[in-house]
Amino acid sequence: MSMNFWMRSERVGFGRWSAADEPLAQRLWGEEEVTRYLCASGRFTQEEIRGRLKAEMDGYLRYGVQYWPIFSPAGEFLGCCGLRPRDFEQNIYELGFHILEEQWGKGYATEAARAVIAHAFMNLGAKELFAGHHPDNERSGHVLRKLGFKPVGDEWYPPTGRMHPSYRLCVDGETD
């Protein structure tokens, strides 16, 4: 990953995934503390991680969004934060972030998500953002509420086989 960031906040630079980033993808999605809330088994195989990386690259080519890899200003890999289409025709995106365990509690998820939210509403014309989290991952729920997301109920999430708390953030701040 070159350090040519396409977007920056004070402490976070955003890159774009490429095939050359497989070692970073393996590091992030190979970390059980990161993936335990993302799938039913709690861990991804190497092949599933390669598939996840390919899906992120394909999402960028098709929709112009992905869960972008994020870095400190010094180039230290932090994880990823970004968007995927939820209802592309209606300009509704899903926000997500996956942060390496060693970077938890430092505010990177919140800071990166704020930058992504601004990008979604100002540059992509998003009408609404959706987010959810594993019911046992209250830290993510705290971040989402801090960002202004409002709870809208629970939604079935097939990869975990669980109902996940779900949230919305509208361009005008309203949930209706």
Which CATH number goes with the domain that contains 111?
3.40.630.30
Is the pLDDT assigned to residue 175 strictly greater than 60? no
51 domain residue, yes or no: yes
1 domain residue, yes or no: no
What is the pLDDT, as a whole number, of residue 171? Answer: 83
When the pLDDT of each residue in the chain is averaged and rounded to a whole number, the result is: 95
158 domain residue, yes or no: yes
Distance in angstroms (rounded) separating the CA atoms of residues 125 and 1: 28
Q: Domain of 161? A: 7-170
Q: Amino acid letter at 105?
A: G
176 domain residue, yes or no: no
Q: Dump pLDDT digits (tens) for 37-57.
A: 999 999 999 999 999 999 999
What is the pLDDT, as a whole number, of residue 173? Answer: 58
Q: How many domains does the chain have?
A: 1
Two structure tokens written together for 37: 């809330």
Answer with the residue of higher pLDDT: 173 or 99: 99
Comparing C-alpha atoms, which of 6, 153, 124 is closest to residue 69?
Answer: 6
140 domain residue, yes or no: yes
What is the pLDDT, as a whole number, of residue 1? Answer: 45
Least reliable range by pLDDT among 1-15, 30-44, 88-102, 137-151? 1-15
pTM: 0.95
175 domain residue, yes or no: no
2 domain residue, yes or no: no
Report residue 174's pLDDT band, with 50, 70 and 90 as the boundaries.
Answer: low
Cβ atoms 50, 12 nearer than 8 A: no
Average pLDDT over residues 126-133: 97
What is the pLDDT, as a whole number, of residue 2? Answer: 46
Is the pLDDT assigned to residue 23 strictly greater than 50? yes
Comparing C-alpha atoms, which of 58, 5, 3, 54 is closest to residue 25?
Answer: 54
